[in-house]
Every structure is written in structure tokens, then in C-alpha cells.
Amino acid sequence: MTSTTSRDSAQKPRLLESRRVLTLILLTAFVWSLLNLDWTTGFIHSGGIDAMGEFAKALFTLDLSGDTLTSAISASWTTVAYAVAGLTLALLIGIPLGAIGSGVLTRSPWLRVTSGGGTRFSLAFFRSIHELVWAWLFVAAIGLSPMAAVLALAIPYGGILGRIYAELLQDVPDAPLRSLRSTGASEWRVFWYGRLPMALPDMLSYTFYRLECGIRSAAIMSFVGLGGLGHEIRISLDDLAYHQVWTYLLFLIGLVVIVDVWSTMVRRRLSE
Amino acid sequence: MTTFDRTQHTQAPAMRWPRITFIRFSLLAMLALIVASWIFVLNADGAQNHSFLSAETFNRFKDFLADLLGVGASGTPAYAQWSEWRSTGHLAYDTLVMSVMAIGFAAIFALVFFMFGARNMMMGDIAPYGSWFWRGVFFFVRGIFVVTRAIPELIWAMLIIFVLSPGLLPGAVALGLHNAGILGKLSSEIVEGLDQRPIQALRSTGAGRFQVMVYGVLPQALPRFVTYLFYRWEVIIRTAIVVGFVSAGGLGTEFRLSMSYFHFTTITLLLVWYLILVLGVDITASYLRRLAR
């Protein structure tokens, strides 16, 4: 960070200085966090190394029996279904709240501040709590229903989507909007015929990116007892059946990679 | 936050028609997936004793909220006691420590590897290395990024708890591993999207491999790397409570215990601390981000 060129430092001496300060802050923070560890006792379990060795060895004796594969496939489907269903609900939260939160639907400054600010605040609240915490609260409240998993995914994801959509809707180029306004279009029409079509590719692209995250989040919903790949991993770990753990882990990795490749292909084409 | 998925790949204009069909195909596939998923979820929900959309759900929800607020419970609610605030405050401090340690681990890991995960550095025009060996290194590093990234923090924590003794360290390592993959991928993509002219100019003066890295790539890439660092820190503080569920310390461990002992008002208190942490980190990160610019 300190290796800025001499021309830069001549032009903006304060920038260089603030970067040095930042480096110092970051290093101090990291050292402070390490000092909080208890250095007097060992960090590794007795037998921890052996467990790691066994775990590594189990990769070469993968459990590929029919039973394991069937349950892996059905768990993968559960995970995908939670992720997709959660994301659709998240869209229903994110699109309207994002549009209102961006404050572009009205010209009145008073409405803009109140409705925009209020919506942004609720979006921030939605996304500040992790999906698994939401899931646990829902399960505690209403019991083990798959809807708990879907809702738990939908709320924080809706919060994130809403915020990003709001930013994208605000960031569209202004010139086409002005020409629409000059024809006498209301802000609502400007939104439909100007802002939304221009922001849509980026919005879609971000949504596809979120799908990949959704798969990972859905996989851990199992922790509160809602099925899916994480559930199988946890059960196999409790049985110390490392070779099964690997099978499920590889399924999870494969699933994420497939969605990742797909979403990258879509996003690459959308951003052209 | 919109900056991190800027891939900026250019393709020949001859590829115009398959691009439209691919997007259409993807949207149709997505639609089919959505329908199938909802059928699955609603069927599974219908198999429960009571479906989600029923008065029963509403009543349970109301009861749970009352429990959280301590309505009708005997004794003072936890959030009304100073001693409870103090003891849970220590846990919040632990969670904060865990998040800082985790982002530190992730940053070190990413900084060591990200140059080797950038396609243009390893086998593109500006590659100081052109051999099959470095090509292999590229795929190996990208493979590490994919695996660490694909496994969620909580599952990393479940695995790591077998090796490391319970405490803040396993949680930080689990968070760090997952985010190392994400940060590594993001920062490799920064290098791939860099302005290549300064790097080529540097190469033409006869700069060696590591000189190109240190004087050509790092100064250009670091400011954006630091912005990503703060963005991931905001995510990590939200997830730090979750790895705590598997006895990795901090707010999460206490959250889990209170859930199993039905100490609902303690849960409210923990959630308040959690929100304070998230808000504090968001504000701090946005302030520090300004320094990086």
C-alpha cells in the first residue's frame, strides 16, 4: 500500500498518508485479535492430527454405494429447492422495496426521504441478521416446516437484493431519463420505460450471482434440522463416517461449481 | 458493492445470436426450477401436522414473540439486568475478535496466492511465466479457491472442530478459509481486469517476475483489494455468530445454549448485541473504506 509512485505522492500527499494510516490500523487490528487468543494452552486437540490424517485418507476410500448416492442426490435436490424457492420470495421482497428505497418513483423530496429512508432501514434490518439465525428463530417459533427454511433465506436475501436494486436503479445514465421527462412522462412512467429497462441486465446478473450464495446458505439450513446436504454431512460426521462426509462434500462442491459456471456464463453475456 | 462482479469480458461480435438464446434458455430453465422447487416445498409443507399458512402458525408466532420479550414469564427478563448485559458484552467482544482474526487469515491467504490465480499473469500476454509448470500452478490455485469457497463457513467449522480445540481459533479459521476462497477469486479477477499498459511498460524495461508483481500489479490492485476486504468483513461479522453454534465461542455458542434451555429473553439480549456489532462494523468499514481510496 505504501508503494505509490512518486508522482502520486507529489500530487496527493494526504492520500499517501491516509493509506499508511490504514495499513497501520489493519495490522494493529489483526495483532490485537491474535493477542486475545489463549496462547498458554495448545490449540490442537489431543488426537486432532490423527483425526485429520484419517479424514484425509478417507478421500481415497469414498463411499459410492447406492444408498449414499441416492441420499446425496435427494439431499442436493432439497438444497437446490430451498435455495430457488427462497430466492423467488426474496425477489418479491427486493424488487418493490428496492424500487421504493431508491426514491426514484416520486419527485416530492419529502416523500422521497420518508419512504426511501424507511424502506432502506427495513432492508438493512433484514440483511443484518444471518439466514441461519432467522431459520433458528422461525423453527423455534413455528416448528420444522420447510417454509421456515424458505422464509429464512428470503428475508436476508430480499434485504441484499433490495439494496443492490436500489443502487442500480439510481445509477442509470441520466440523459435518456431527461428526454423522457421532457415529453411529459411522470416519474412512474420514467421508471417503467427508462430506468427499469436500463438497469435490468445488471439486476438479473446480480440475482444469478446470488443464486450461488443461496445454494451454500440452503446447505446449512440443515443445522436447525431442515434436511439437505448439510444435514447429511452432519450426521455422517457424528458417526465418524469420514468416507461418507467426503461424498456429500463433493456433491456440495459440484453443485456450487455448476451454479457458479452457469451464473458466470449468464453474467458474461449480460454484461456485454 | 456492485463493483465486485465486474468481469468485463469482451467477445467477438460474431457471437451475437447464440448469446440471446443462451440467456433465454437460462431464464426458461430458471422458471422450470422455480416451479419444481415450489411444488417440492409446498408438498413437503403439506405433509406437516399443520401447514404453514394456518392460524396455528400465527398463534405460535405470537407466543414466541411474547417469549422473546419475556411477557408473562417469571423473573426479570435478561435484557433488564445490568449483569447480563456485561456478561453477554464479553461474548460480543469475542465475536468481534473472531471476525477480525478471520478477515486477517483470509487476507494473508489471498495475498499470498492471488497473483498465481490470475490468468493473464500466468499464461496471458503479460505473463512473465509461460511454461506448463506455471499453467499447472494457475489451475491448482484456482482449484483451491473453488474448494474453500464452495464449502460454507459452518461446515468448515464442523470439520475443524475435530482438529482444533474449542475456542475462538477454530471459528476464525473456518470463517477465514471460506472467505480466503472468495477473496482470492475476487482479487485474481482484479488482476485480470487491470490496465495492462503500465505492466507491459515495466516488462519492456526488463523487469523480472517478482519486480512486475511488486511494482506493476500490487500498487494497482491493492486499493480495490482493500475495499473487498471491508466488504467481506461486513459479511463475516454476520456469520461469526453462526460458526459459534458449533462451540467456536462468542455470541453463537451462548445463543445455542439459550435456545436449548429456553432462555428466551437472553436470546433477545444476544440479538441486540448482534445488531450492535453488525451496525458498528458497517459504519467502521465504510469509514475505513474512505481511507483506502
**Does B162 contact chain A (CB < 8 Å)?**
yes
CA distance A242 to A235: 11
**Residues of chain A found within 8 Å of residue B181, distances taken between Cβ atoms:** none
**Does B270 contact chain A (CB < 8 Å)?**
no
What is each CA distance from A237 to A246, B13, B154, B237, in whole angstroms? Answer: 10, 51, 13, 26
- What would the mean pLDDT of A254-270 be, rounded to a whole number? 87
Q: How confident is the model at residue B278, as a pLDDT? A: 92
Q: How confident is the model at residue A16, as a pLDDT? A: 54
Q: For an interface test with B, give the residue of A3, A4, A26, A139 to mutate (most B CBs within 10 A).
A: A26
Of A45, A141, A146, nearest to B164 by CB-CB distance is A45
Across the interface, do B101 and A262 touch by the CB < 8 Å criterion?
Answer: no
Name the residue with cell 439459550.
B258
Q: pLDDT tens-digit profile of A35-71?
A: 888 777 777 777 778 878 888 888 887 777 888 888 8
Q: pLDDT tens-digit profile of B94-103?
A: 999 999 999 9
3 state DSSP class of A42: coil
Of B64, B151, B159, nearest to A141 by CB-CB distance is B64
pLDDT over 60 (residue B1) = no
Residue in chain B nearest A36 by alpha carbon: B97
Question: In terms of CATH, what superfamily is B82-292?
Answer: MetI-like (1.10.3720.10)
Across the interface, do B155 and A220 touch by the CB < 8 Å criterion?
Answer: yes
Q: For an interface test with B, give the residue of A45, A122, A145, A167 to mutate (most B CBs within 10 A).
A: A145
Burial class of residue B156 (count of CB atoms within 10 Å of its CB; 0-12, 13-18, 19+): buried
Q: Place B163 in a pLDDT band, splitting at 50, 70 and 90.
A: confident
Q: Place A143 in a pLDDT band, splitting at 50, 70 and 90.
A: confident
Of B64, B65, B239, nearest to A130 by CB-CB distance is B239
CA distance B172 to A241: 25
The dihedral of CA B237, B241, B244, B249: what is its sign? Answer: positive
- What would the mean pLDDT of B23-43 be, rounded to a whole number? 89
Q: pLDDT tens-digit profile of B241-252?
A: 988 888 778 888
Q: Look up the CATH number of domain A62-270.
A: 1.10.3720.10
- What would the mean pLDDT of B115-121 be, rounded to a whole number? 81
Number of Cβ pairs < 8 A linking chain A and chain B: 218
Q: How confident is the model at residue B3, as a pLDDT? A: 46
Domain range list for chain B:
82-292
* Contact indicator for B95, B240 with CB cutoff of 8 Å: yes
pLDDT over 70 (residue B128) = no
**Chain B: nearest CA to A184, how far in angstroms?**
32
**Chain A: nearest CA to B155, how far in angstroms?**
7
**Does B287 contact chain A (CB < 8 Å)?**
no
Residue in chain B nearest A91 by alpha carbon: B34
Across the interface, do A18 and B291 touch by the CB < 8 Å criterion?
Answer: yes
Q: Specify the length of chain A in residues.
A: 272
Weakest mean pLDDT among A76-80, A115-119, A254-258, B143-147 = A115-119
Domain range list for chain A:
62-270
**Residues of chain A found within 8 Å of residue B155, distances taken between Cβ atoms:** 219-220, 230, 233, 249, 252
**Residues of chain B found within 8 Å of residue A141, distances taken between Cβ atoms:** 60-61, 63-65
**CB neighbour burial string for B54-91, b if at least 16 within 10 angstroms, e if fewer:** eeebeebeeebeebbebeeeeeebbbeeeebeeebeeb
Q: How confident is the model at residue B6, as a pLDDT? A: 46
Q: How confident is the model at residue B262, as a pLDDT? A: 83
Cβ neighbours of residue A262 under 8 Å, at least 6 residues apart? A208, B26
Percent over 70 (pLDDT), chain B: 87
Q: How confident is the model at residue B50, as a pLDDT? A: 66
Q: pLDDT tens-digit profile of B199-251?
A: 888 888 887 777 888 888 888 888 888 889 999 999 999 999 988 888 778 88
**Does B44 contact chain A (CB < 8 Å)?**
yes
Across the interface, do B271 and A129 touch by the CB < 8 Å criterion?
Answer: yes
Q: pLDDT tens-digit profile of A186-240?
A: 888 888 888 888 888 888 888 888 888 899 899 888 777 777 888 888 888 888 8
**Chain B: nearest CA to A271, how far in angstroms?**
7
Across chain B, what does the average pLDDT equal?
A: 83
* Contact indicator for A254, A212 with CB cutoff of 8 Å: no
> Residue A186, Cβ neighbours under 10 Å: how many?
13
CA distance A230 to B152: 9
Across the interface, do A253 and B146 touch by the CB < 8 Å criterion?
Answer: yes
Q: pLDDT tens-digit profile of A72-116?
A: 898 899 999 999 999 999 999 999 999 888 877 777 778 888 888
**Chain A: nearest CA to B284, how far in angstroms?**
12
* Contact indicator for A158, A89 with CB cutoff of 8 Å: yes
Q: What is the pTM of this model?
A: 0.84
**Chain A: nearest CA to B77, how far in angstroms?**
18
CA distance B232 to B240: 12
**Does B62 contact chain A (CB < 8 Å)?**
no
Q: Place B49 in a pLDDT band, splitting at 50, 70 and 90.
A: low
